[in-house]
């Protein structure tokens, strides 16, 4: 079974983070939510209080098949400032691991140098922060081991793309049909 870690900080965009978790779990992927705080309690950008599956400092990521960052503010800012997370992302990316980010979160990848000479997208007001990338307005962009997406309105195609990368296009189509998604 594939294992994906989705990193959450206070102020993450609810739909961008939880759509990925929901659709991956429907596909049979072990989608693990991870708080970057020292507690499992997180408050979303719209004030929903929730608990993550794990806390960053107590998690071994050596079995990861993909690392995912949802957007939202100030969640993206907190993710980008969390040095243990940026260190993990850098090490994982350097080994060719699959990384994905949506909305404002591709800006974290840009700051880490992941988007240099790659095609990428993000939330419109963050496009100018994608230094070194060939930016576009596609809903989801996959360039090598890096996937980026635009925002809440592209959360379903983003999640389906991640499923296709891990389990194949047929599984992604099966999940799309099961949720009555017509992209």
- Take residue 14 and report the two structure tokens written for it: 């609810």
The neighbour count for residue 171, using CB atoms within 10 Å, is 17
What are 137-172's pLDDT values in tens digits?
999 999 999 999 999 999 999 999 999 999 999 999
Q: Each residue of 7-36: pLDDT tens digit? A: 999 999 999 999 999 999 999 999 999 999
182 — pLDDT class (breaks 50, 70, 90) = confident
User: Residue 92 is part of a domain; what is its CATH number?
Assistant: 3.40.50.880
The predicted-structure confidence for 32-90, as pLDDT tens digits, reads as follows 999 999 999 999 999 999 999 999 999 999 999 999 999 999 999 999 999 999 999 99
Determine the structural domain holding residue 54 and report its residue range: 3-172
Pairing mode of beta strands 140-143, 146-149: antiparallel
**Secondary structure (3-state) at 86:** helix
In a domain, 178, yes or no: no
Residue 10, helix vs strand vs coil: coil
Would residue 101 count as lying in a domain?
A: yes
Decide if 103 is catalytic: yes
pTM for the model: 0.97
Per-residue pLDDT at 9: 98
**Longest pairwise C-alpha distance within the chain:** 39
Residues 6+ apart with CB under 8 A from 13: 44, 45, 70, 71, 72, 75, 102, 103, 151, 152
Report yes or no on 46 lying in a domain: yes
How far is Cα 17 from Cα 52, in angstroms, rounded to an integer? 11
Residue among 31, 79, 103, 162 flagged as catalytic: 103
> What's the angle, vertex CA 14, arms to CA 13 and CA 16, rounded to 5?
70
Residue 177 lies in a domain: no
Cβ 100 vs Cβ 69: under 8 Å: yes
Residue 180 included in any domain? no
Could you tell me if residue 181 is inside a domain?
Answer: no
User: How many domains does the chain contain in total?
Assistant: 1
């Amino acid at each position: 079974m594939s294992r994906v870690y989705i990193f959450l900080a206070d102020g993450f965009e609810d739909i961008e983070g939880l759509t990925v978790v929901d659709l991956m779990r429907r596909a049979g992927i072990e989608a693990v939510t991870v708080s970057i705080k020292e507690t499992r309690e997180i408050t979303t950008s719209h004030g929903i209080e929730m608990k993550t599956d794990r806390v960053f400092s107590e998690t071994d990521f050596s079995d990861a098949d993909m690392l995912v960052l949802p957007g939202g503010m100030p969640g993206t800012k907190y993710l980008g400032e969390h040095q243990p997370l940026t260190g993990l992302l850098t090490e994982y990316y350097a080994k060719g691991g699959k990384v994905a980010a949506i909305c404002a979160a591709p800006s974290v990848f840009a700051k880490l140098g992941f988007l240099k000479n790659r095609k990428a997208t993000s939330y419109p007001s963050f496009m100018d922060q994608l230094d070194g990338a060939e930016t576009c307005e596609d809903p989801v962009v996959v360039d090598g081991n890096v996937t980026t997406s635009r925002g809440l309105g592209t959360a379903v195609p983003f999640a389906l793309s991640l499923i296709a990368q891990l389990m194949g296009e047929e599984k992604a189509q099966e999940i799309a049909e099961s949720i009555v998604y017509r992209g």
